[in-house]
Amino acid sequence: MHMSVEFSGELSFSAAVLTVSDTRTNLTDKSGAHIIELLEQAGHTVIHYAIVPDDQAAIGGQIREWIADGEVDLIIATGGTGIAPRDVTIETVKPFLQKEIPGFGEFFRYLSLTEDIGTRAMLSRAIAGTITGRKLLFALPGSRGAVSLAMRKLILPEAAHLLNEARK
């Protein structure tokens, strides 16, 4: 069993990465692959990875499985966060959140506005929060650019601190 280990003031953690898409495969999922790459480069362990269709039952079933896994500290979902009818990731994951972290979505949209895509950032419904008081969940847009921005500017710099706070 992987245990979170404190080192040099930082917390290494185990993550699960979920890509929500009707079209992506293991070969074409650039966003999921990028999340995994960035987590591993930062010294974290990715213990689960899956691709599920834009379907509430599929998304919810995978999230529930990972919530029950005591080794998972952090779940990052990518895709299905927009406003199209098929975009149901937010509606699916939000009920799992015990405490939403509104600042994550606010900062993500701000950074997207100023550094990335301009006013189209308002279309993002990216969210984060705690689950079971011991784990974190982040839901990101499906583009590689959005994933890179969220991981580099928000998740990797703050996830260890957020986990420490959630576990007090």
Where do the domains of the chain lie? 5-166
Average pLDDT over residues 134-163: 95
> Which residues, in sequence order, are bridge partners of residue 75?
16, 137
pLDDT at 168: 87
CATH code for the structural domain at 5-166:
3.40.980.10
18 to 8, 48, 65, 85, 114: CA distances (angstroms): 29, 8, 12, 20, 27
Within 8 A by CB and 6+ apart from 33, the residues are: none
Q: Residue 4 has which token pair?
A: 């979170």
Q: Residue 55 has which token pair?
A: 């379907």
Place of tokens 């499985």: 65
Rounded to whole angstroms, how far apart are CA atoms 24 and 76? 16
Residue 5 has pLDDT above 50, yes or no: no
pTM beyond cutoff 0.85: yes
Residue 101 CB burial class (10 angstroms; 0-12, 13-18, ≥19) = buried
Residue 96 CB burial class (10 angstroms; 0-12, 13-18, ≥19) = middle
Average pLDDT over residues 128-154: 95
> Is 76 within 8 Å of 19 (Cβ atoms)?
no
Q: pLDDT for 60-102, tens place per residue?
A: 999 999 999 999 999 999 999 999 999 999 999 999 999 999 9
Question: Residue 60: what residue type?
Answer: G
Q: Residue 122 has which token pair?
A: 């308002």
